[in-house]
Amino acid sequence: MGTKGREIVGMDVKKVLELLNKAFADEWLAYYQYWLGSKVVSGPMKDAVIAELMQHAADELRHADMVTTRIIQLGGTPLLSPQEWVKHTNCGYDAPKDPFVQRILEQNIKGEQCAISVYNKMIQEVGMKDPVTYNMAIQILQDEVEHEEDLQALLEDLGVILKK
Ligand code: FE
Ligand code: FE
Ligand code: MG
């Protein structure tokens, strides 16, 4: 990382890196959960749900990319093996054991709600002490809020169908 770029970080860089690596683990697990969910999901409105899950998977992978870029800028090392994702994740991994649409949507909504908390906390903690990380976290938070809303809208539409 550039020396001036590091100098302006007004807090312990190690602490920022720890937050970033935990979020990095979350993003990979979220990516995999969406990706696999889009393959196994079954039930009513399947096509609409698959399209949304695939789009979200792509977003989570893009988030992993954004977080890694920042980790490397700060002179850190992204978690080097998938085993470490499980060890450092905030939000965990919810295997899509039941492929029914409603269950898959509920699992991913839970994941998004966790992601919203994680990035909101990062924003509070980092604040203007590290404006670059702050800006990254805001961009990701905006996506996670949209993800939650999209999934809850699908669940609502599905509820209408299931009640018939
Ligand atoms: Fe994400
Ligand atoms: Fe998300
Ligand atoms: Mg969406």
* 3-state helix vs strand vs coil in the chain, percent to 5: 80, 0, 20
CB of 59 within 8 A of CB of 5? no
Surrounding residues of ion ligand 3, Cβ less than 5 A: 150
Ligand nearest to the CA of 151: 3
From CA 16, how far away is CA 77, in angstroms rounded?
A: 12
Going from the C-alpha of 55 to that of each of 42, 48, 91, the distances in angstroms are: 17, 11, 20
Task: Look up the pTM and report it.
Answer: 0.95
CB atoms within 10 A of CB 8: 11
Assign domain 12-163 to its CATH architecture: Up-down Bundle (1.20)
Q: Tens digits of per-residue pLDDT, 110-159? A: 999 999 999 999 999 999 999 999 999 999 999 999 999 999 999 999 98
Which residue in the block uniquely carries the two structure tokens 């990706």? Answer: 35
If you ran DSSP here, which 8-state letter would residue 76 be given?
Answer: -
Q: Tens digits of per-residue pLDDT, 99-118? A: 999 999 999 999 999 999 99
Instruction: Using the predicted structure, report yes or no on whether residue 1 has a pLDDT greater than 90.
Output: no
CA of 3 to the centre of ligand 1 (A): 29
